[in-house]
Structure 1
Amino acid sequence: MIQAIVFLPLIGALIAGLLGRIIGHRTSEYVTTGLLIVSAVLSWVVFLPVAFGGGLMGAEVGGDTAVLKIELMRWIQVGGMDLRWVLRVDTLTAIMLVVVNTVSSLVHIYSIGYMADDPHRSRFFAYLSLFTFAMLMLVTADNFLQMFFGWEGVGLASYLLIGFWYTKPSANAAAMKAFVVNRVGDFGFMLGIFGSFLVLGQIDFDGAFATAAGFATTGLPVMQFLGWQVDAMTVVCLLLFMGAMGKSAQFLLHTWLPDAMEGPTPVSALIHAATMVTAGVFMVARLSPLFETSPTAMIFVMIIGAITAFFAATVGLVQNDIKRVIAYSTCSQLGYMFVALGAGAYSAGVFHLFTHAFFKALLFLGAGAVIHAMHHEQDMRNMGGLRHKIPVTYAMMLIGTLALTGVGIPGSEWLGFAGFFSKDSIIEAAYAVGGNTGMFAFWMLVVAALFTSFYSWRLIHLTFHGKPRPAAHGHDDHAAHDDHAHAEHGSAYDHAHEAPNVMLVPLYVLGVGAVLAGAVFYSMFFHDVAHIEHFFAGSVVVNHELIEAAHHVPLWVKWSATIAMVLGFVAAYWMYIRRPEMPGQLAATNPGLYKFLLNKWYFDELYDAIFVRPALWIGRAFWKGFDDWLIDDKITEGLGRRVQNVTGWVTRLQSGYLYHYAFVMLIGIAALLTWAIVAGGLI
């Protein structure tokens, strides 16, 4: 069963990619989608017994471990290292199988309608299935190298999908940007893998975890790093986390994520909800036994997560492209997940990953339905009043917004949308950490919750409420357009229509998840410590003391996120429904702050000045100065010209006239006589 879950998407990718032109677009769509649906159903078959006490079917249970390992082949055998390709399935893997395959199968179904007019649909579905397979390789990895294979496969597939419309310069630039930024993180990840093998002497996870556990009695090792004696595990964990910062778009390595919107909307849903950005969260959770050995690395993870949550939320306040608002929301929510991981509440971080997949995929696919209805218009300022035109999409987007903003009743185990349970769990865990780091993270997350509520309801009000606001001169500079956009006669609002059922059915399924995923699974992820320990047995570290402390935080802490959510809702309602002229007035009053946020804290401009332009200057210098001038002009072609000049002079001596040759002979004889006289040979 596990083999089928993992390899069915690969089979679909190969069929659509290699045979797409032969079997046709429609068959490619049905084959890839059908195989993904089968994989998703089997994933739930694996997960549900684990979730409700049955355990993994066929798993070996011993002590605190419950894991199923399926060996596929012997992979690498060098010296004493005998590395096998093994599919590792435990609770964490089972969760990820459900998330990845469920969202991917729904995205496949949705894409049948959304990409119906695209002439390259077979290639698109092949890429989607390849993306899914790469992520499945990552989450079923049993060793560092196997994880790295899936890690790089996800990066490759994201590059192909973001740049799917390769005739668009902006799509090519966005794909390249994602690829390059992730190479920075991947370089750190590779160094972390090398460091793990150096320090732990193991490449497989079980061996590495066992060695790390032994440090509790033997003491933590130290190593030379850049000339300093440092804690080896801190260096290893920080390097590994550098990889997570790139894949999961954390602060400083986040710049690729908003530009990834250049790909088709279903790609955005897949990247932001289930695959690429969750890879970093999964990696840190999987390697939790290693991170537990380094409090410094844990603090760093927590701080970066808190800054990311706050930063991305501030930028989301003023974005006008409907997809970019949701993209920055993803970036912010990933910050929440890393705060939980840095706090040691790994189950809470994984819980938010689980719930976030449903409501974020719902929001992205809902945004795609809006774009479809508005004939590829993406600027929210050119929308308005759409709840009358597309009521089903409006209802689904409303459910996603309620889940994202965390609507619920604090203290209740059942009354609340999915995001309420998982997000509040993280905020409570951050407070329970205490100290300067815990309080910093707590307040950053609460403020981020306020901003999240504001920009989420701003999106709803600008898109669905108020009066229609058709663009006076077509699309403006802030709107991003799909490559297959086409001109429409009259107002896009007048022609707005509900999406076909093939696009709406996935929204219904995701809507159910956005409503119920939090309440149904709250106990096993965060509420009941005994249940958590049984659920995550041998999968991630369970910090009993922290979770108990989180359950007993003051009442105002439990209500803080809800109060922030309400304040954000009221502010958005007041500014975009009651006083719609107010946002413009505020922007005019505070132009510096508005431009600062609109330009994303100027990180793109900063990186362009620090890295891009110097790199281009160095490249041109090597190209024009070293390669063209020195190598080509002076050495290669220059030597060729010198040889031609010399041979030209030599050929002139071969005139064919006898008196020329006689003259040269006389000169030669005179030269010999002169040399002999000078040398004393004729005296």
Structure 2
Amino acid sequence: MSYLLPLLVFLPLASALFLFTTAGKISAQTVGFVAASAIGLSALCSIVLAGAFLTSAPSTPLQITLWEWMHTQEFSADIAFALDPISLLMILVVTIVGFLIHLYAIRYMEEEPGIARFFGCMTLFVSAMLVLVLSSDLLCLFIGWEGVGICSYLLIGFWYENPRNTAAARKAFYMTRIGDAAMLCGLLILATSTGSLQTHTVLTALGAGTIAPQALTAAALFLLVGALAKSAQIPFQTWLPDAMAGPTPTSALIHAATMVTAGIYLIARLHLLFAAVPLVMMLTAIIGALTILMAACTALVQTDLKRILAWSTISQLGYMFLALGTGIWQAAVFHLMTHAFFKALLFLTAGAIISRLHHEQDIFRMGGLYRSMPGLTAAFLAGAAALAGLPLVTSGFYSKEMILSSIWSAHFPLAPLFLPLAHILWGMALAGAFLTALYISRCVFIVFFGRSRTAASGSTPRLMAIPLACLSFLSLFGGVIEMPDTLAPIHVFTRFLSSPFPHAEEPVWLLLTGGSVPIAGIVIAWILWGRATPVMQEIPGQSTIIRMAKEGWGADALYDFLFVQPFLFLVWLTRHDILDYLILGIGRMTRAISTFFETARTRSLTLFSGKTILFLHGGDALLARFQNGRVRWYAAWIVAGLCAALVSGVVS
């Protein structure tokens, strides 16, 4: 069965190459069919592998080495794939959800002139993500990591004629490249410490204690930065809302099944490495909790439907990082799976709504859509209920409850004894659950049950409705495979991961609290926005704090001041060669000073010589008067001088 692993990657990759080379030569229907078929076959391979994996239950991962990439005396790297429970789960999520998104996109994008480029990038995106999750070598994983980054850039800027779209694509590219550089530094530290980047070799060296503590801490910190940037966590959260500039299927693929989950997968894959560094674990949990609240508060004041969902993605990823930071990586992966279901559903439903409302995205210009779009209303309600974590009837409840119950009993060795950090983080996560129910219920009441403002047109094609129905089912019932013992001792998911999970006896009040908070959020949202005369409406002149929340709490302005403007200044210096200008300026100043002194010297010498000449001319004229050739005047002057001499002698 190992030959299916490269086939999983090859099918979407071959589809991408075919679509790129035949762009403009085949019909839009053929393009969509080729892309969806490739992802569908990959999904079928994933299901076959899952069936074989579950029936045989191998004790070691299924591995295949395609070729040796490099080999030296001190380092070796292979292009190799491995299948274990966590990678099997990821390929199932990526291919099945990816297939449904591609199926939806056939009709959604059929009138786009660049449809071949779109589906080529989408299938390449899936192929890169599969490389990422299947790689048994971290350097090979980095190839897939970079692949999803470049594909996201191409897809976010798909409508490149609009400068705002290309700016959003560049922003996503630059911010994720910061994390990629940090991740590469972490990989280099591990490579120099272990001589290999094979995941098994690195974890074996970790268990043997051959990695120096300083190197281990540095590597974990660098890898954490890479994961935070890829998953849009604080302080890298600003690129993901702007990624809404791409087509809606792209948004669904990025937010649900591929790029943003890469950071979660990386930490879950190397959970033993991160668990060995308590400082990094505590930092991961704190960042996750802060991201939950920040993103939820921001989503609560947004008016753009897709941006509300984008900020909700950031908040839900915060739950996953919080679970990873507490050491319960199984809960993070479980929420990753359920989140892929309901977030893909919400984005695809939002795309269908926006398309039928003539590309209107402002929720305050919608309203009353349950009358004209009952099917889309039901689909969005299923996704919204799962996102809010409505108790017992949604998948989001079970995965979020697993995280909340795990946080309450977590232990942080580096936290001060007087600071109950686990309980504080639990309270923050609970507040985030309340805000999540509040903002998504606000969206539901305004869009579907408010006063109608924009008339809907057309109907939802069946090819778009089928993926919505499948995702609705998964969003509602995809979480029953893992339930708290208080409800039922069902632990199919954790047994599937083949990893020990502490199913401690959970207090009933903890379960009741986690289940009642979403209901409280829905009730308050109904009071504020759901009644015939809503208490709150869109107010043109909001307070400063609301404006700041709408703009992402000023993060973009701060980064512009700290990084963008200094960089642009350096670019200006480089473009204008300021050093050359400085040298030229000094030369001009020197020449000006030299000219000044030269002029002053010339003028002073000219003035002095002129005055001297005048003085000599005057003396010559005076002497000419004395020497006039008249003898009697000479005699008179002699007598006068003799008399003056006699007088001076007598006086003396």
1:435-514 alignment runs, 5 A limit: 436-470=420-454, 493=455, 495-514=456-475
For 2:178 and 2:420, locate their aligned partners in 1 and report how far apart those are by CA, in whole Å: 30
CA contact under 8 A between 1:250 and 1:304: conserved in structure 2?
Answer: yes
For 1:627 and 1:281, locate their aligned partners in 2 and report how far apart those are by CA, in whole Å: 47
Partner of 2:378: 395
For 1:284 and 1:446, locate their aligned partners in 2 and report how far apart those are by CA, in whole Å: 23
1:561 aligns with 2:514: yes
SS in 2 for 1:600: coil
Q: CA deviation at 1:634?
A: 9.6
- RCO higher in 1 or 2 (8 Å CA, sep ≥ 6)? 1
CA RMSD of aligned residues (A): 2.4
Partner of 1:426: 403
Q: CA deviation at 1:437?
A: 2.6
Partner of 1:575: 528
For 1:530 and 1:170, locate their aligned partners in 2 and report how far apart those are by CA, in whole Å: 47
Partner of 1:536: 497
Cα distance 1:210–1:292, how it changes in 2: closer, same or farther (>3 A)?
Answer: same
1:54 aligns with 2:55: yes
For 2:126 and 2:119, locate their aligned partners in 1 and report how far apart those are by CA, in whole Å: 11
304-313 or 618-627: bigger deviation: 618-627
Compute the TM-score of the two structures, normalised by the length of structure 2.
Answer: 0.84
CA contact under 8 A between 1:109 and 1:503: conserved in structure 2?
Answer: yes
For 2:483 and 2:52, locate their aligned partners in 1 and report how far apart those are by CA, in whole Å: 16
Paired residue type of 1:181:
M
Partner of 2:24: 21
Q: Specify which of 598, 616, 619 is matched with residue 550 of structure 2.
A: 598
CA contact under 8 A between 1:407 and 1:420: conserved in structure 2?
Answer: yes
Q: CA deviation at 1:249?
A: 0.5
Percent identity, please. 37
1:520 aligns with 2:481: yes
For 1:391 and 1:403, locate their aligned partners in 2 and report how far apart those are by CA, in whole Å: 18
CA contact under 8 A between 1:68 and 1:89: conserved in structure 2?
Answer: yes
1:548 aligns with 2:500: no
* Residue correspondences, number: 576
Question: After superposition, what is the alpha-carbon deviation per residue over 1:464-517, rounded to whole angstroms, capped at 9, x for unaligned?
Answer: 1121124xxxxxxxxxxxxxxxxxxxxxx1x43331111111101111111111
SS in 2 for 1:496: coil
1:209-248 alignment runs, 5 A limit: 209-215=203-209, 221-222=212-213, 231-248=214-231
Partner of 2:354: 371
Q: CA deviation at 1:625?
A: 3.7
CA contact under 8 A between 2:183 and 2:223: conserved in structure 1?
Answer: yes
1:608 aligns with 2:540: no
1:175-194 alignment runs, 5 A limit: 175-194=169-188
CA contact under 8 A between 1:302 and 1:343: conserved in structure 2?
Answer: yes
Cα distance 1:514–1:627, how it changes in 2: closer, same or farther (>3 A)?
Answer: farther
* Unaligned residue ranges in structure 2 (runs of 5+): 412-418, 589-652
Partner of 1:32: 35
1:110-189 alignment runs, 5 A limit: 110-189=104-183
SS in 2 for 1:88: strand
Question: After superposition, what is the alpha-carbon deviation per residue over 1:203-247, rounded to whole angstroms, capped at 9, x for unaligned?
Answer: 1111111111112xx7x724xxxxxxxx33222111101000010
Partner of 2:649: none
1:85 aligns with 2:46: no
Cα distance 1:40–1:580, how it changes in 2: closer, same or farther (>3 A)?
Answer: farther
Cα distance 1:630–1:120, how it changes in 2: closer, same or farther (>3 A)?
Answer: farther
Cα distance 1:566–1:529, how it changes in 2: closer, same or farther (>3 A)?
Answer: closer
Cα distance 1:394–1:80, how it changes in 2: closer, same or farther (>3 A)?
Answer: same
Partner of 2:284: 301
For 2:98 and 2:519, locate their aligned partners in 1 and report how far apart those are by CA, in whole Å: 33
For 2:79 and 2:151, locate their aligned partners in 1 and report how far apart those are by CA, in whole Å: 21
CA contact under 8 A between 1:16 and 1:126: conserved in structure 2?
Answer: yes
Q: CA deviation at 1:361?
A: 0.1
Q: CA deviation at 1:80?
A: 4.3
For 1:462 and 1:497, locate their aligned partners in 2 and report how far apart those are by CA, in whole Å: 21
For 2:134 and 2:296, locate their aligned partners in 1 and report how far apart those are by CA, in whole Å: 32
CA contact under 8 A between 1:9 and 1:132: conserved in structure 2?
Answer: yes
For 2:513 and 2:51, locate their aligned partners in 1 and report how far apart those are by CA, in whole Å: 33
Paired residue type of 1:458:
R
Compute the TM-score of the two structures, normalised by the length of structure 1.
Answer: 0.81
Cα distance 1:289–1:117, how it changes in 2: closer, same or farther (>3 A)?
Answer: same
For 2:24 and 2:333, locate their aligned partners in 1 and report how far apart those are by CA, in whole Å: 40
CA contact under 8 A between 2:393 and 2:476: conserved in structure 1?
Answer: yes
For 1:583 and 1:279, locate their aligned partners in 2 and report how far apart those are by CA, in whole Å: 38
Paired residue type of 2:130:
L
CA contact under 8 A between 1:523 and 1:531: conserved in structure 2?
Answer: no
Paired residue type of 1:423:
K
SS in 2 for 1:519: coil
SS in 1 for 2:67: strand
CA contact under 8 A between 1:323 and 1:378: conserved in structure 2?
Answer: yes
1:336 aligns with 2:319: yes
Question: After superposition, what is the alpha-carbon deviation per residue over 1:311-336, rounded to whole angstroms, capped at 9, x for unaligned?
Answer: 10010001000000011110000000
Paired residue type of 1:54:
T
Q: CA deviation at 1:611?
A: 1.1
For 1:324 and 1:379, locate their aligned partners in 2 and report how far apart those are by CA, in whole Å: 10
1:103-114 alignment runs, 5 A limit: 103-114=97-108
Q: Of the two, which has the highest radius of gyration? A: 2
For 1:293 and 1:393, locate their aligned partners in 2 and report how far apart those are by CA, in whole Å: 47
Q: CA deviation at 1:143?
A: 1.2
150-159 or 1-10: bigger deviation: 1-10
For 2:354 and 2:491, locate their aligned partners in 1 and report how far apart those are by CA, in whole Å: 46
Q: CA deviation at 1:554?
A: 2.7
Q: CA deviation at 1:422?
A: 0.3
SS in 1 for 2:302: coil
For 1:239 and 1:341, locate their aligned partners in 2 and report how far apart those are by CA, in whole Å: 16
Q: CA deviation at 1:121?
A: 0.4
* Unaligned residue ranges in structure 1 (runs of 5+): 223-230, 409-414, 471-492, 639-683
For 1:496 and 1:447, locate their aligned partners in 2 and report how far apart those are by CA, in whole Å: 39
Partner of 1:678: none
CA contact under 8 A between 2:76 and 2:196: conserved in structure 1?
Answer: no
Partner of 1:43: 46
For 1:577 and 1:261, locate their aligned partners in 2 and report how far apart those are by CA, in whole Å: 27
For 1:429 and 1:403, locate their aligned partners in 2 and report how far apart those are by CA, in whole Å: 20
CA contact under 8 A between 1:389 and 1:497: conserved in structure 2?
Answer: no
Paired residue type of 1:548:
H
Partner of 1:75: 69
1:198 aligns with 2:192: yes
SS in 2 for 1:548: coil
For 1:48 and 1:302, locate their aligned partners in 2 and report how far apart those are by CA, in whole Å: 35
